[in-house]
Amino acid sequence: MRKPIIAGNWKMNNTASEGAELVKALKPLVKDAKCEVVVCVPAIDIPAVKKAIHGSKIRLGAQNVHFAEKGAYTGEISANMLKEYGVQYVIIGHSERRAYFGETDETVNKRTLAALAAGLTPIVCIGESLEEREGGLTEKVLDNQIALDFQGIEDFSKIVIAYEPIWAIGTGRTATDEQANETIGYIRKRMKKVYAGKNVGRMRIQYGGSMNAKNCKGLMSQPEIDGGLIGGASLKPADFAAIVNFDK
């Protein structure tokens, strides 16, 4: 059985004090969670949030990581730096990183390998644009990302994939339950073919396109969907808790 994982991506929201208050409000709401609960916070919030989640089921995640251990990379943060602060998960290759900051499949792969080497669990984002989906290119786009983003990984039980249809991020649009399940099923099937014998069957795949308190039950009822990478709803404790507690 693949244990569901619900991860909140705060993006560039919440100061350290605001983030600490948010997780303090969240803790009692998710104390009986049966899934893994993660908050991926701005780097500057990590120390305060680490302290605030102490004693709870909430795990700490970051939103990016550099592929080098150290060096002349002004503004970047290494995997070992994150690990020393208690970070366990890190988002890699989010569509906003790809669109606004020049992230490529090559750098996604390098960051993923660096995270794994440091003992972090990468949440690797893949997905297609609206133009690509409407052009019938979804599978071609995913095939290319699958081929390039995951080279060199030997144990896929140690990573999480977040399928994020780019057209459903921050737009209010969401793939239907069936669309999301079908595409994630395709990703899993393709991964098993390309990376056979590397624990792909134990790899978890989240849905990352505007999952919220209202649509989470339907999405999470689908057999291929192992959780959600949550954006806006993760900034509201009650809404995020409703997603975490989707089975109630």
pLDDT recorded at residue 248: 83
Check 36, 96, 132, 164 and give the catalytic one. 164
The token pair at 238 is 């009650």
And the tokens for 193? 């073919």
Q: Which of 55, 64, 95 is nearest to 82 (CA)?
A: 64
| Spatial distance between the Cα atoms of 246 and 3, rounded to a whole number of angstroms | 13
Query: What is the residue-level pLDDT of the chain in tens, covering all 248 positions?
Result: 899 999 999 999 999 999 999 999 999 999 999 999 999 999 999 999 999 999 999 999 999 999 999 999 999 999 999 999 999 999 999 999 999 999 999 999 999 999 999 999 999 999 998 889 889 999 999 999 999 999 999 999 999 999 998 877 766 677 899 999 999 999 999 999 999 999 999 999 999 988 999 999 999 999 999 999 999 999 999 999 999 999 98
Residues 6+ apart with CB under 8 A from 159: 112, 116, 121, 122, 123, 124, 150, 153, 203
Residue with tokens 């991926």: 40
Provide Rg for the chain, Cα atoms: 17
Burial label, 83 (beta-carbon count in 10 A; 0-12, 13-18, 19+): middle
Residue 137: per-residue pLDDT: 94
**94 in catalytic set:** yes
| Residue-level pLDDT at 209 | 84
Query: What single-letter amino acid sits at 68?
Result: A
| DSSP, residue by residue, the chain | -PPPEEEEE--S---HHHHHHHHHHHGGGSTT-SSEEEEE--GGGHHHHHHHHTTSSEEEEES---SSSSSS-TT---HHHHHHTT--EEEES-HHHHHHS---HHHHHHHHHHHHHTT-EEEEEE---HHHHHTT-HHHHHHHHHHHHTTT-S-GGG-EEEE--GGGSSSS----HHHHHHHHHHHHHHHHHHTTTSSGGG-EEEE-SS--TTTHHHHHTSTT--EEEESGGGGSHHHHHHHHTTT-
Crossing angle for the helix pair 138-149 and 177-194, to the nearest 10 degrees: 40
Domains and CATH numbers, the chain: 5-244 (3.20.20.70)
Chain centre to alpha carbon of residue 182: 19
What does the pLDDT read at residue 168?
77
Return the number of other C-beta atoms located less than 10 Å from residue 136's C-beta: 8
* Cβ neighbours of 86 (radius 10 Å): 15
Exactly one of 94, 96, 103, 224 is catalytic; which is it? 94
Question: Across-strand partners of 121?
Answer: 89
